[in-house]
Amino acid sequence: MDNYVLITGASSGIGRATAIRLSKTYPLVLGGRDEKRLEETRTMCENTDKHLLWHYDLATVEGIAENLSAFLKENSVSVSDFVHSAGMAPLAPLRMTTSETMRQIMDVNFFSAVEILKLLTSKKVNGKSLACVVLISSIQSRIGAKGQSIYCASKAAMEGFMRAMAVELAPSIKLNVIRPGGIQTPMGDLLQRNQELLEKPADDGYLLGLGETEDIAAMTEFLLSENAKWITGQIFTVDGGRCAH
């Protein structure tokens, strides 16, 4: 079977930029809940005929294993690299956050990645194909953010999970986290439109200004490459200097 790179959240933002960059080198499985936007991503990629669309809403964690397993079997492909870029970050104080919203944030941002990794490490489903995993976190797991307590918690959970799995799956599989700072994405734009709640300028503390999605895509490409063959269990902060002070 052919080996592919699976990218969740590929319909926009960091996931889309990563797909476009990696499409020059790898065949891709583009994952997301919006099929139309996934198709738009594919048309932006190079070698469009080599890339597959996995249309699935990661908020439905219970069905991920069955759905993805069937998808891989139907298309006769395996996954050698997994990039988890899917995420949601609704902005609200804790007192206004419902239990349903809390569960949805954790499911999309964290538990879906757990389920996917569990499936991809199954020899019955994916053989021994999986070699590298990159999880997209956020500097808000470190510095916190008003109105985003559960989002911060989901990213912190992801980082702790990565460290444990890097130990558990070594040496055959490498796992690393990228911790972006303020990136100009649809999600970032939404946060910037709610400055009264955030109570700080959008570029507060960014020594090099706000980042672009391509900055994170470039780091992801490096971690998937042979140049990073001796790197695992690490968190790479890519934030324009925001956490330097």
Residues noted as catalytic: 151
Cβ atoms of 65 and 118 closer than 8 Å: yes
Distance CA 37, CA 204 (A): 31
Question: Which amino acid is located at 9 in the chain?
Answer: G
**Cβ 174 vs Cβ 207: under 8 Å:** no
Per-residue b/e over 159-182, b at no fewer than 16 CB within 10 Å? bebbeebbeebeeebbbbbbbbbb
Helices (H) and strands (E) in the chain, counts: 11, 7
Helix axes 35-44, 13-22, angle to 10 degrees: 40
- Which residues make Cβ contacts (< 8 Å) with residue 226, sequence separation at least 6? none
DSSP 3-state of 88: coil
